[in-house]
Amino acid sequence: MSPLLSAALIVRDEERFLDGCLASLAGRVDEVVIVDTGSTDRSRDIARSHGARLIEARWSGDFSAVRNVGLEAARGDWILYLDADERVVEFDRAAVAALCADRAFVACTVLFRPVTGYTRYREFRLFRNRRDVRFTGLIHETVLPDLEALRARRGLRFGASTVAIDHYGYDGDQGHKHERNLPLLNARLARDPHHVYSRDHLGRALLGLGDEAGAERAFRAAIDSVRASPSDASVDSLPFLHLASLLLERNRDAAGVLDEGCRRFPDNHALTWLRARALVQAGRYGDALPLFRGLTGVDVDGCPDARMAYDASIFGASAHAAMGLCALKLGRHAESAAHYARAEALAPGDLEIRTKRQWVTTLAARGPGS
């Protein structure tokens, strides 16, 4: 008999997303446990209509606390945790059952897309239901420390599933989430001031609320924490990425931030993209061109093996359009037209790219000196 699988969610006023999320779980999990923290919309009715087990809990300002309420109630041998604004888009029941039945595995990653239009990366969302595996952290809650400890203690392994989850909550305006997250992030950082991801998230929240100076301070403080750490993790690249992006958008010098970021994280494609953009901003089109060309050669399907997600356009339409611009500035009109044509083929609905392709094609047809 296959191990039972429980999906565990926490919900509050999620009627916009919840029906689609629960529909994506139908026939794929054995039970759905929803912890509702005070919905005033139709969320509870939607949960019941899908046969979910509904538990009401008071919101305490601690995401881990309410996540753990769901774990305590779950009856499955394994847990799949997700949020209402996510959907399971790929799920091979037989393959998942085989992984869960293998006693060597304590947890498995899923292929996670954080934002529409981004590549997937691997995230731990599937794990054994055990009393010694619980979430920690007021925000950015995680079970990974307990999983790591259990793996070391019992000699178990982590697996990689083909389950794919798409997140839709970052599409559209994020103002309400930034306002909700600010006090939680400050509380988390009061306890752990060197938590790089939370410090970076604080910067993004402040930026989203219009406080650019506060955002820059947060990004720089996060970078200071990275420098003080004995080793770099993939997520430690984020403050370099976000600070450099802010500086470039304000036409400020980002060279120092990018130099350090690329030195620490040489395989981070987003930092390479920003370095190339900085070269364009400095008028160094010949130096930028090979960086953009390198991005077009990246195997996007291989990105899920990384711990990072990327805007997929930097490997496609945006990269080719940037190459078109560089070639244009270098006076290579035919080459520029070819790059813009490739960009248009990859993004046929982009009016700006189409207009530039038409213009450069006309220049190329006129010949040298046009």
* Whole-number pLDDT of residue 304: 57
Distance (Å, whole) CA 49 – CA 364: 61
Q: Could you give the residue ranges of the DSSP H alpha helices within the chain? A: 15-25, 43-49, 63-73, 93-101, 144-154, 175-191, 196-208, 212-228, 238-249, 255-264, 269-281, 285-296, 317-329, 333-346, 351-366
At 164 the pLDDT is 97
Instruction: Tell me which long-range contacts 264-268 makes (C-beta under 8 A, separation of at least 24).
Output: 264/226, 264/232, 264/236, 264/237, 264/240, 265/232, 265/234, 265/236, 265/237, 265/240, 267/306, 268/234, 268/237, 268/241, 268/308
Strand partners, 8: 33, 81
C-beta of residue 196 within 8 angstroms of C-beta of residue 225: yes
pLDDT of residue 53: 97
Amino acid occupying residue 236: D
Note whether residue 226 is domain-resident: yes
Q: 79: part of which helix (H) or strand (E)?
A: strand 78-81
Q: Per the domain annotation, does 190 fall within a domain? A: yes
Residue 232 has a pLDDT of: 84
User: What does DSSP assign to residue 258?
Assistant: H
Statement to judge: residues 24 and 55 lie in one domain: yes
DSSP string, 284-320: -HHHHHHHHHHHHTS-GGGGGGSS---BGGGGTHHHH
Q: Are residues 154 and 253 in the same domain?
A: no
Do 349 and 296 sit in the same domain of this protein? yes
What's the number of domains the chain is made of? 3
Same domain, 137 and 43: yes
Residue 94 within a domain: yes
Domain that holds residue 29: 5-167
CATH number, residue 322: 1.25.40
User: Over its length of 370 residues, how does the chain's per-residue pLDDT go in tens digits?
Assistant: 567 999 999 999 999 999 999 999 999 999 999 999 999 999 999 999 999 999 999 999 999 999 999 999 999 999 999 999 999 999 999 999 999 999 999 999 999 999 999 999 999 999 999 999 999 999 999 999 999 999 999 999 999 999 999 999 877 677 788 898 999 999 999 999 999 999 999 999 999 999 999 999 999 999 999 999 988 888 999 999 999 999 999 999 999 999 999 999 999 999 999 999 999 999 999 999 999 999 999 987 766 556 789 999 999 999 999 999 999 999 999 999 999 999 999 999 999 999 999 999 999 888 775 5
Euclidean distance between CA atoms 163 and 141, whole angstroms: 21
Please, are residues 239 and 226 in contact by the beta-carbon 8 Å criterion?
Answer: yes
